[in-house]
Structure 1
Amino acid sequence: MGVIDQLRDRFASLSPSLQQVARYVLDHPNEVVTQSMRNVGLHAQVPPTTLVRFAQTCGFEGWNPFKQALTADMGLASEAGNQYGERARSLLGRARDKQLTAEMFAMQRSNLDVTEQHSAARLVTAAKLLEKAEQVHVMGMRACFPVAFSLVYVYRLFRRSVHLLEGMGGVREMQLRAIDPGDVLVAISFAPYSHETVHAVELARARGCKVLALTDSLASPLSLAADETLLFAVNSPSFFPSVTAAQALAESLLEVLVSRAGPQAVARIESAEGELHSSGVYVQAAGK
């Protein structure tokens, strides 16, 4: 039985103050898993101590374990903690299985649905955070690097003050030194979390820089230190976690940013597109 079902069954036995929390959890599960305990308390009109007592009454050690369980109950639990080799071994002998590819596409559709459910409502808030930044720094290592790169590549079409922290040539520390108060760091990672990305988040916080986390869990070290979090699902029947939903989330964020940016952003995009074509970057179709 999931967390939501347990709350429904136990609701009548809770004290009035705990029923108030339970009612908010049942009515606003998305907000509970994406907002801080302080914000949840404000919206539920109870002090943080009541949230802790509520979680303990539900059988959890504290509020964060309760949120993790609720996150898992809603389909955002990451399977990335499993060993890649072990998961790859489970695929052996399935080369002729016609359901193999169908499982993958079905899981991708599910990941997209879950990601939309939990993050779509937070995109405008995330966009506002980026719009206030003097400079935007984006970091995603290893499997998350393509997401970070494409986010920077497209974002720079209409905003110049966007920088990719890729560390090429061993200059990551030099790039991190450019992070200042008033900036925003967009940190992208899923379990097992990249040490370099977690370090960048810690450094950004120490310098008074805001953090936007794109990650797989509210319990991730990125989310726990972030000002705003956008969650994406990484579940996959294959041996490696999927980043499809992460890419879709980044593209959705860009869509919101452009929609809010106004005519000047459109003019910058048109100018950049014209320069790309005139510079010969693209292959021209025959007869054009």
Structure 2
Amino acid sequence: MIERLDVETFFRARERLISASRIGIVCARSTVSLGQFLQFYLHLLGKDVVLFTGDPRMIDLLQRFGPGDVMVGIGFSRYAHWTVEHLRYAKKRGTWIMAITDYPSSPLAPLADESFFTPTGIPSHMDSFVAPLSFLTGLLRAVSNRLSKQTAEILHEMEDLWEQFGIYEPPSSV
């Protein structure tokens, strides 16, 4: 994956995420775990993020997306119709589209302004999400590093909040 990654494209995508008014993440079935990971950390970095995972009640939020927003589609072989249709609709509304998928032949790729191809195939009945998760981690780190002052401020505030509500258990002294 790293050999195929175009650095300029990667940094353009980072800047789009940073400048976006709103970010949508479209994923379905097994890719929901990747979408939740991306949503959790983008939200932690102060971004307005909507996660579309196949729940029909969420479809109403799709009409809020347009120019100035970003829609990230995550899909791999045996591509979910839900994901493709969301990207198609968002594209018609002028939303900037990023696809995280496996091959240039993916139906997500022609809908995207930028595509990132991450291998998932292993000789098994399930995909390996090691490469896509590594890509997302790198992208989130790039966003965080670019917004280092804002990130530090948000994280300090969040630490205070987590402490006040006892979110985390301290490690045992055993």
Give the structure-1-normalised TM-score.
0.57
Structure 2 Cα separation of the partners of residues 214 and 273 of structure 1: 31
1:140 aligned residue (16, 21, 27): 27
Which residue does 1:150 correspond to in 2? 37
The reply to whether residue 166 of structure 1 matches residue 58 of structure 2 is: no
Contact 2:144/2:151 (<8 A) preserved? yes
Structure 2 Cα separation of the partners of residues 120 and 205 of structure 1: 23
Which residue does 1:199 correspond to in 2? 85
User: What secondary structure does 2:5 align onto?
Assistant: helix
Q: How does 1:73-222 map to 2 (within 5 A)?
A: 115-119=1-5, 121=7, 122-168=9-55, 170-222=56-108
Unaligned runs of 5+ in 2: none
Contact 1:156/1:162 (<8 A) preserved? yes
Which residue does 1:280 correspond to in 2? 166
Contact 1:143/1:243 (<8 A) preserved? no
User: What secondary structure does 1:145 align onto?
Assistant: helix
| Larger fraction in helix | 1
Question: Percent of pairs identical after alignment?
Answer: 26
CA deviations over 1:46-86 (Å, ceiling 9, x no partner): xxxxxxxxxxxxxxxxxxxxxxxxxxxxxxxxxxxxxxxxx
Query: What count of residue pairs does the alignment treat as equivalent?
Result: 172
User: What secondary structure does 1:156 align onto?
Assistant: helix
Contact 1:202/1:225 (<8 A) preserved? yes
Which residue does 2:113 correspond to in 1? 227
C-alpha displacement of 1:133? 1.5
Unaligned runs of 5+ in 1: 1-114
User: What secondary structure does 1:143 align onto?
Assistant: helix
Rg: which structure is higher?
A: 1
Which residue does 1:68 correspond to in 2? none
